[in-house]
């Protein structure tokens, strides 16, 4: 079947569009036009607000709040960004940026470390209670996260972690998703290499670090990006466990900024844009991994 | 699950536990311990500010059902807000992503680019999305009224405030469900569509009798996680409407966190969180039972 329908060499690698394939009557061209127009409208709807955020951030405040709004800035200016940097003191935006970066990076590293080792044990090693442990861990995926907020606040307080980066980086690493995700991946890896390494006298740590991890780069990359994104964007938890202005993350700080600069929209949008750029760039380069990770999360259902 | 490996000694008996230990320590501290601690707190008059935290049995729960108690009004107002948001947003977050996924499942140049574009808002945080929509929906200077030529009070009057919160949430999170549907669509054997075409099924009939039945499991998953996510609604209402107008968009989660982490009545807040979780559990069970009925013929 596949051989019969293979296009001649040198032709486009894409199969012809569905309309052509099913041999629609001449009306097909109009339908194609409608289809692309529809896609264009959707694209504007999805990207438009993000572009609008940036355009506003390079306007002056009178222009940003003018009625009717101007689409493009009449004279682009970076004064909102300069304004952001001058807000040191109560609104140290640069500091927030590095706090977010630090927390998200630490969180990502911790998730990779603890989830990969646990997933390896659950996928490959034999021990009493393995099945029960796996069921207990996975079942917590179905408990809504908000039931942990109040008691975890107390635990963080007892650990003396309130208002520190540890409060941001560590508790989320207890999430079952990473362990579940990597376990499923490790379990699908062929065992031949490991058998050979065992015969050569390798121990489990060597097998884990030299064979399993190097062969799991896509899964590890997916988990790394997803955990970085979720930690960078987290809002509920940081606004309660952080107090000092210089300890805040960007999302928590943006809320302060909104409260203080209610009507200075270029400054607020500049702050929002600064918080968006890292994740948008990260997504641009890793969208395959992100989308792959999200699709997999659906298959467990 | 059962790896068919010969029973040879591959590692010391303690090796697996050493591999498990780092995760288990964190898991026990931040998942198991809080789950138990939360129940214990909810049975005490646990006020962060007080030395004495007497055992009060089920009083914290009973207060939530006692119309004369201090928490009754605000708790059920929050539950109502969360329920309104869930009922209003879930249909859109189930139907629109399905339509987009069917569209993206066709073969056309650039489909992976469009897939990424529709997903893009999802990688932004709620703080960014909240500030952005607060600005765009501003009744006086916002671009939404500017483009529509209207002066709708998007934030300050109902039902506009709900429409705003639902619309921005759909914009923000729809890519996630789309991707999950897309993965589900790709699992439907193409022979089924070929067979349907041979039988002369129209595009709509193919959708109705092949696509929808084939997506039943995925659909169940999508509806469940979307209800869960809607029940978690917090940031949008806090940043865009600030719970208003009045207290109409003050969701259950806002109420619970204000009670526990602003007023520090943590016992009462813990009881609220468990009651909300129980409600969600009931909703999930009802929904699973309602949707499990018919299975596609080729899956049974």
Judge contact between A222 and A294, C-beta under 8 A.
no
Return the closest-CA partner of residue B243 out of A200, B112, B235.
Answer: B235
Cβ-based neighbour number of residue B220 at 10 Å:
17
Residue A29 burial (CB count, 10 A): 10
Residue of B9, B26, B170 to mutate when probing chain A, most A C-beta within 10 A: B26
pLDDT value of position A298: 56
B59 in a domain, yes or no? no
Count of structural domains within chain B: 1
**pLDDT average per 10 residues of sequence, chain B (300 residues):** 53 90 96 93 83 83 89 94 96 95 88 91 95 93 90 92 96 94 89 88 87 88 91 92 91 94 91 94 88 57
pLDDT band for A2, please (50, 70, 90 cuts).
Answer: very low
Are residues A155 and B34, on separate chains, in Cβ contact within 8 Å? yes
In contact, A228 and A101? CB cutoff 8 Å: no
Q: pLDDT for A89-107, tens place per residue?
A: 678 888 999 999 999 999 9
Using an 8 Å Cβ cutoff, are A69 and B146 in contact?
yes
Chain B residues whose beta carbon lies within 8 Å of the beta carbon of residue A235: 125-127, 234-235
Phi, psi of B44 (to 5 degrees): -125, 160
Q: Which residue of B has its CA nearest to A40?
A: B114
Q: If we measure between CA atoms, which residue out of A80, A96, A136 comes closest to residue B125?
A: A96
Q: Among candidates A296, A156, A266, which has minimal Cα distance to B266?
A: A156
Under the banding of pLDDT at 50, 70 and 90, the label for residue A54 is: very high
Of A282, A181, A51, give the one whose Cα is nearest residue B116: A282
Among A20, A45, A52, A151, which would you mutate to test the B interface (most chain B Cβ atoms within 10 Å of its Cβ)?
A: A151
Q: Tell me the whole-structure pTM to 2 decimals.
A: 0.88
Task: Indicate the fold that domain A95-248+279-299 takes in CATH.
Answer: MetI-like fold (1.10.3720)
**How many CA atoms lie within 13 Å of A129's alpha carbon, on the beta-carbon side?**
8
Q: Which one is predicted more confidently, B75 or A5?
A: B75
| Residue B277 CA: distances (Å) to CA of B79, B87, B100, B228 | 11, 17, 31, 9
Q: Are A175 and A137 in contact (CB under 8 A)?
A: no
- Select from A151, A174, A232 the Cβ nearest to the Cβ of B26: A174
Q: Would the pLDDT of A11 be above 80? A: no
Verify whether the Cβ–Cβ distance B22 to A118 is below 8 Å: yes
CB within 8 Å of chain A, chain B residues 106-165: 106-109, 114-121, 123-128, 131-136, 140-141, 143, 146
Asked if residues A239 and B261 have their Cβ atoms less than 8 Å apart, the reply is: no
How many Cα atoms sit within 13 Å of A113 on the Cβ side? 14
Three-state secondary structure call for residue B265: strand
Flag if A133 and B183 touch (Cβ within 8 Å): no
3-state secondary structure of B108: coil
- CATH number, domain of B141, equals 1.10.3720.10
Q: Which domain holds residue B227?
A: 74-292
CA A89 to the chain's CA centroid: 30
Q: What's residue B249's pLDDT?
A: 94
In a domain, B53, yes or no: no
Mean pLDDT (whole number) for A180-199: 89
pLDDT tens readout for residues A208-222? 999 999 999 999 999
- The DSSP call for residue A293 is H
The closest of A173, A121, A109, A294 to B218, measured between CA atoms, is: A294
Q: Is A9 left (phi over 0), alpha (psi -120 to 50) or beta?
A: beta
Instruction: Quote the minimal CA–CA distance from A219 to chain B in Å.
Output: 17
Q: Write down the domain spans for chain A.
A: 95-248+279-299
| Residue A10 pLDDT class (50, 70, 90 cuts) | very low
Can you give the pLDDT at residue A15?
Answer: 44
- Contact between A125 and A204 under an 8 Å Cβ cutoff? The reply is yes
pLDDT of B9 reads 60
What digits encode the pLDDT tens for the residues A235-279? 999 999 999 988 999 999 999 888 887 778 999 999 999 999 999
Task: State the Cα–Cα distance between residues A69 and A273, nearest whole angstrom.
Answer: 19
Task: For residue B245, say if its preceding peptide bond is cis, omega within 30 degrees of 0.
Answer: yes
Spell out which residues of chain B touch residue A296, defining contact as CB-CB under 8 Å.
183
Question: Does the bond joining A34 to the residue before it have cis omega, within 30 degrees of 0?
Answer: no
């Amino acid at each position: 079947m596949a051989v019969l329908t293979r296009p001649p060499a040198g032709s486009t690698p894409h199969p012809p569009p569905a309309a052509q394939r099913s041999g629609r009557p001449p009306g097909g061209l109009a339908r194609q036009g409608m289809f692309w127009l529809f896609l264009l409208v959707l694209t504007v709807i999805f990207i438009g607000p993000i572009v609008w955020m940036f355009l506003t951030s390079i306007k002056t405040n009178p222009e940003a709040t003018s009625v009717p709004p101007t689409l493009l800035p009449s004279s682009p200016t970076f004064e909102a960004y300069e304004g952001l940097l001058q807000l040191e003191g109560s609104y140290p935006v640069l500091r927030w940026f590095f706090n977010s970066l630090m927390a998200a990076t630490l969180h990502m590293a911790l998730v990779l470390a603890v989830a990969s080792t646990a997933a390896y044990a659950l996928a490959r090693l034999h021990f009493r209670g393995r099945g029960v442990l796996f069921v207990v861990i996975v079942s917590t995926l179905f408990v809504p996260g908000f039931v942990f907020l109040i008691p975890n606040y107390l635990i963080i307080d007892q650990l003396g972690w309130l208002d520190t980066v540890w409060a941001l980086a560590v508790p989320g690493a207890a999430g079952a998703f990473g362990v579940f995700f990597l376990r499923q991946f490790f379990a699908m890896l062929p065992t031949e290499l490991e058998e050979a390494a065992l015969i050569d006298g390798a121990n489990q740590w060597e097998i884990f670090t030299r064979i399993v991890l190097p062969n799991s780069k896509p899964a590890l990359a997916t988990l790394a990006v997803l955990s970085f994104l979720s930690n960078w964007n987290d809002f509920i938890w940081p606004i309660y466990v952080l107090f000092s202005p210089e300890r805040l993350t960007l999302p928590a700080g943006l809320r302060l900024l909104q409260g203080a600069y209610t009507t200075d929209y270029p400054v607020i949008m500049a702050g929002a844009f600064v918080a968006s750029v890292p994740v948008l760039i990260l997504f641009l380069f890793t969208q395959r991994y992100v989308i792959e990770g999200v699709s997999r999360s659906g298959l467990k259902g | 699950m059962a790896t068919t490996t010969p029973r040879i000694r591959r590692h010391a008996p303690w090796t697996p536990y050493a591999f498990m230990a780092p995760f288990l320590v964190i898991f026990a501290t931040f998942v198991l311990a809080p789950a138990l601690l939360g129940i214990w707190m909810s049975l005490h008059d646990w006020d962060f500010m007080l030395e004495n935290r007497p055992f009060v049995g089920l009083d914290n729960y009973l207060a939530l059902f006692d119309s004369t108690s201090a928490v009754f009004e605000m708790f059920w107002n929050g539950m109502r807000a969360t329920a309104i948001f869930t009922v209003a947003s879930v249909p859109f977050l189930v139907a629109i992503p399905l339509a987009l996924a069917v569209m993206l499942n066709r073969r056309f140049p650039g489909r992976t680019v469009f897939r990424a574009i529709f997903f893009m808002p999802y990688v932004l945080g709620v703080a960014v999305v909240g500030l952005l929509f607060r600005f765009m929906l501003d009744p006086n200077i916002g671009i939404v009224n500017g483009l529509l030529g209207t002066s709708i009070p998007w934030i300050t009057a109902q039902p506009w405030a709900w429409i705003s919160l639902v619309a921005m949430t759909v914009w923000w999170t729809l890519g996630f469900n789309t991707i999950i549907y897309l993965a589900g669509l790709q699992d439907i054997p193409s022979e089924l569509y070929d067979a349907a075409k041979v039988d002369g099924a129209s595009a709509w009939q193919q959708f109705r009798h092949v696509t929808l039945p084939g997506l039943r499991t995925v659909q169940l998953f999508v509806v469940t996680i979307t209800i869960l996510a809607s029940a978690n609604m917090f940031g949008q209402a806090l940043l865009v409407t600030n719970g208003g107008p009045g207290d109409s968009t003050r969701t259950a989660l806002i109420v619970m966190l204000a009670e526990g982490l602003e007023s520090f009545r943590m016992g009462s807040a813990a009881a609220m969180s468990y009651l909300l979780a129980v409600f969600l559990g009931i909703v999930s069970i009802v929904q699973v039972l309602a949707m499990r009925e018919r299975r596609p013929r080729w899956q049974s």
